[in-house]
Copies of this chain bind each other. A is one copy, B any other.
Amino acid sequence: MDARPPSRVEGAVAHIRDRIATRTLAHGARLPSVRELAEKLGVSKSTVVEAYERLAAEGAVVARRGSGFFVAGPARPLAPAPADPPPEPAIDPSWINQHAMMGLPDFLCPGAGWLPDSWVLDLGVQRALRLAARDGAHRRRQYDEPMGFAPLRRLFSVRLAERDVLVDPDQVIVTDSCSQALDLVCRFLLRPGDTVVVDDPCYFNFLSLLKANRANVVAAPLAPDGPDVEALERLIIEHRPRLYLTNAGLQNPTGATLSPAKAHRVLRLAEDYDLLILEDDTFGDFEPEPAIRLAGLDGLRRVVQVGSATKAVGAATRCGYIAAAADWIGPLVDLKLATSMGNSVTGAAMIHRVLTESNYRRHLDALRGKAADAMGHALRKLRAHGLEPWIEPRAGIFLWARLPDGIAAADVARYSLTKKVLLAPGPAFSASDLGRGCLRFNVARCVEPRIFEVLDDAIAAAPRGGS
């Protein structure tokens, strides 16, 4: 007798599949009970259970709580998911996100895009919650005003002015996150099939967001002082994009900074070719001195700026903003209400409190100092382990580094995951060759020596000229 359990399971699977195919078991019919089929086929009950579970996993049957297994209904056409299943799980943006956000126990996450908990815990969210309970913004109103909490809009307007983006509070909309702000602006400005230019490399969630908005994406190579303007112009002429989506201040994933001369040339291109610009200022709080903003240079005529209030606060309560031309505000607010009915006023009031606490600026100063130290450390360590930083960013938490020649970032990331180290492989940020051999490091999360040990092993294990 054949003792291999898999073949018994496979036999039971084949038996049921056959009965479904011949309609002996019709759609919706209950499968034989586990005991019944085990007796009939002369196998153990656990073999039948495994067979049924395998059929359930492939969707041929469905389990119903307390009542057994049933033949699945006729396959109905599923919607084309805006986010299709990734062809290569290990390099998909949502893969990084979802793993990082799961807070996997014992994992080290130099690939995660946010600060370690220990960097933000002293920030007084706890105090803000306690004070919020006392001051009771939740008592004064339920739904927030359509544009968002007015004191926070005024505060954003002041913070923007510090970066030479002069904007009236009535041109500022509060959102529940910077991601929501980005999405609202894309939904407002783009029609399905419109083309959008991004930087190569760019923040990986830009690509998911644009896919969800059914936009075509083209990528312009990034130089350390901003986009390659000649390449950008060629792309514009060829593809006639409607929008250029880029970062302000500190670019994600490279930490690059737009120079004033590049900013002027980019804005001239936008004016000449009637291109709109969406500028994401998520990491502005990490700059020692603000770099030039396209939104400021343009006076918010064809540039929209979005940003986050909480990158330096911690993401447990999230908050973002949109700053745009006055005549775009009405339709953007309509869209915000249609798709969310407005932001959470409790959260907005809490964030306002945190940002106006007397120790907030000291906190930012301390963060910048810690990030600068961590950047120096990461630069040294990465070079010592054979990786070459693309640039030495002037500030921020991101470092974009190239692996030794012929090593694929996807291979390194896959290997590291088995060793409980979550990396951010380049193909998530760049569809071009550039991304293939690069990784993004969050320098605030590169302290543990084990990261570099795993990196060594991953590089040693990776095939040369690998996937």
Q: Which A residues lie at the B interface, using CB under 8 A?
A: 59, 62, 64-65, 73, 76-83, 85, 94, 97-98, 100-103, 114-115, 117, 120-121, 125-127, 129-130, 132-133, 136-139, 141-146, 161, 166, 176-177, 179-180, 183, 187-192, 205, 208-209, 211-212, 214, 274, 276, 299, 301-302, 314-318, 327-328, 330-331, 333-335, 337-342, 344-347, 350
Least CB distance, A89 to chain B, in whole angstroms: 11
A103: which of B141, B208, B318, B334 is its contact (CB, 8 Å)? B141
Given A130-B130, A139-B117, CB of A339 within 8 Å of CB of B180:
yes
Alpha-carbon separation in the docked complex, A178 to B399 (Å): 38
**Interchain residue pairs A-B with the least CB separation, the first 5:** A138-B316, A81-B331, A208-B338, A129-B133, A83-B334
Point out the residues of chain B lying under 8 angstroms from A302, CB to CB.
76
Q: Are B338 and A205 in contact (CB under 8 A)?
A: yes
Given A64-B299, A82-B188, A101-B143, CB of A317 within 8 Å of CB of B346:
yes
Q: Are A141 and B338 in contact (CB under 8 A)?
A: no
Q: Are B98 and A212 in contact (CB under 8 A)?
A: no
Sample of 17 further A-B pairs with CB below 8 A, known A98-B146, A142-B314, A183-B340: A65-B161, A73-B301, A78-B327, A82-B187, A101-B337, A103-B141, A126-B136, A129-B129, A129-B346, A130-B133, A137-B316, A138-B314, A143-B315, A183-B338, A183-B339, A208-B338, A317-B346
Q: Are A339 and B179 in contact (CB under 8 A)?
A: yes
Given A299-B64, A327-B59, A347-B346, CB of A338 within 8 Å of CB of B211:
yes
Point out the residues of chain B lying under 8 angstroms from A339, CB to CB.
179-180, 183, 209, 212
Point out the residues of chain B lying under 8 angstroms from A190, CB to CB.
79
Q: Are A344 and B83 in contact (CB under 8 A)?
A: no
Alpha-carbon separation in the docked complex, A142 to B314 (Å): 6
A-B contact pairs, 20 of them (CB 8 A): A64-B166, A81-B188, A82-B334, A85-B331, A101-B342, A102-B146, A114-B143, A117-B141, A117-B142, A120-B142, A129-B133, A129-B346, A138-B314, A143-B315, A176-B340, A180-B340, A212-B339, A318-B341, A344-B347, A346-B350
Point out the residues of chain B lying under 8 angstroms from A82, CB to CB.
187-188, 331, 334-335, 338
Alpha-carbon separation in the docked complex, A54 to B85 (Å): 53
Alpha-carbon separation in the docked complex, A137 to B302 (Å): 41
Copies per complex of this chain: 2
With both beta carbons as reference points, the residue of chain B lying nearest to A181 in the complex is identified as B340
With both beta carbons as reference points, the residue of chain B lying nearest to A319 in the complex is identified as B344
With both beta carbons as reference points, the residue of chain B lying nearest to A190 in the complex is identified as B79
Q: Are B328 and A141 in contact (CB under 8 A)?
A: no
Least CB distance, A3 to chain B, in whole angstroms: 34
Point out the residues of chain B lying under 8 angstroms from A59, CB to CB.
327
Alpha-carbon separation in the docked complex, A144 to B316 (Å): 7
Point out the residues of chain B lying under 8 angstroms from A166, CB to CB.
64-65
With both beta carbons as reference points, the residue of chain B lying nearest to A188 in the complex is identified as B79
Given A129-B129, A130-B133, A177-B340, CB of A144 within 8 Å of CB of B101:
yes
Alpha-carbon separation in the docked complex, A138 to B136 (Å): 19
Point out the residues of chain B lying under 8 angstroms from A139, CB to CB.
117, 121, 126, 316
With both beta carbons as reference points, the residue of chain B lying nearest to A130 in the complex is identified as B133
A344: which of B98, B143, B276, B318 is its contact (CB, 8 Å)? B318
Q: Are B145 and A103 in contact (CB under 8 A)?
A: yes
With both beta carbons as reference points, the residue of chain B lying nearest to A66 in the complex is identified as B166
Alpha-carbon separation in the docked complex, A146 to B317 (Å): 15
Least CB distance, A280 to chain B, in whole angstroms: 12
Point out the residues of chain B lying under 8 angstroms from A125, CB to CB.
138, 346
Alpha-carbon separation in the docked complex, A81 to B120 (Å): 39
Q: Are B129 and A138 in contact (CB under 8 A)?
A: yes
Point out the residues of chain B lying under 8 angstroms from A335, CB to CB.
81-83, 212
Alpha-carbon separation in the docked complex, A304 to B360 (Å): 44
